[in-house]
Amino acid sequence: MVLRRVKTRPNERPTSLTLASAIGALILIAASAAWITLNSLEQWSVMIPVAAVLIALIVWGDQIGHTYRSQSIGALSVGAISGAIIGVVAYIAGRASQMTPIILPGLASVIGPIPAAALFGLLEGVAVGMTIVVLDGLLGDHTTRRPPTGALGRACAKFLVAAIPIYALIRIGGI
């Protein structure tokens, strides 16, 4: 008896490819809507540049190391540290835009606004870090290097999808 190795070709499974593309498009559309919502309200306007800096720092932290595990630890570590620092900076910069109601108002009344802003930033950094780690696991080039256009596409996807946990934390946080 001779056993053959059966190799499936991508065009033999059009249903699963179509489903994966549709779900990916749905996630990117939801992420784009989250960025638009964050930008539409005046009291959240300070979060847009803060989130962009945080995402850039976490993506940089995701490049530390040569294995997926070390890159994941780098992204989460940089996310937690930079998130806490950026949370405090955003609170100080956001006093003019009345950012206090959106940064964990119940916790801010107990421990104070600056520690609450640091905790909010820490949670935001870890959530965005986890999002970027998952996207890097799904879209990353761990076995072979891909062309620079692929890296640009992955960076755009990371930036768009990272808005979802930021939006969720702000909505849960206070308003």
* 15 domain-assigned: no
Q: Report the pLDDT value the prediction gives residue 77, as an integer from 0 to 100.
A: 94
Residue in the block written with tokens 């696991």: 137
The percent of residues in the chain predicted with pLDDT above 70, rounded, is 70
* 33 domain-assigned: no
Q: What is the mean pLDDT of residues 91-118?
A: 72
* 142 domain-assigned: yes
* 47 domain-assigned: yes
* 141 domain-assigned: yes
Query: From CA 151, how far away is CA 168, in angstroms rounded?
Result: 27
**Domain range for 101:** 43-173
Which pLDDT tens digit goes with each residue over 17-58? 677 677 777 777 887 787 777 777 666 666 777 788 888 888
Domain count along the chain: 1
Query: From CA 19, how far away is CA 69, in angstroms rounded?
Result: 29
CA distances from 104 to 40, 72, 85, 121 (A): 20, 27, 16, 11
3-state secondary structure of 143: coil
Q: Report the pLDDT value the prediction gives residue 175, as an integer from 0 to 100.
A: 42
Query: From CA 115, how far away is CA 104, in angstroms rounded?
Result: 10
Nearest alpha carbon to residue 68 among 119, 138, 151, 163? 138
Residue 8 pLDDT more than 70? no
Which pLDDT tens digit goes with each residue over 61-80? 888 878 888 888 998 999 99
82 band by pLDDT with thresholds 50, 70 and 90: very high
**What element of type H or E holds 52?**
helix 47-61
Residue in the block written with tokens 């699963």: 16
Give me the chain's average pLDDT, please. Answer: 76
pTM for the whole structure:
0.72
* 133 domain-assigned: yes
Q: Which of 29-33, 116-120, 138-142 has the lowest mean pLDDT?
A: 138-142
* 161 domain-assigned: yes
* 28 domain-assigned: no
Sign for the pseudo-dihedral over CA of 109, 50, 46, 48:
negative
- Angle subtended by helix axes 163-173 and 148-161, to nearest 10: 10
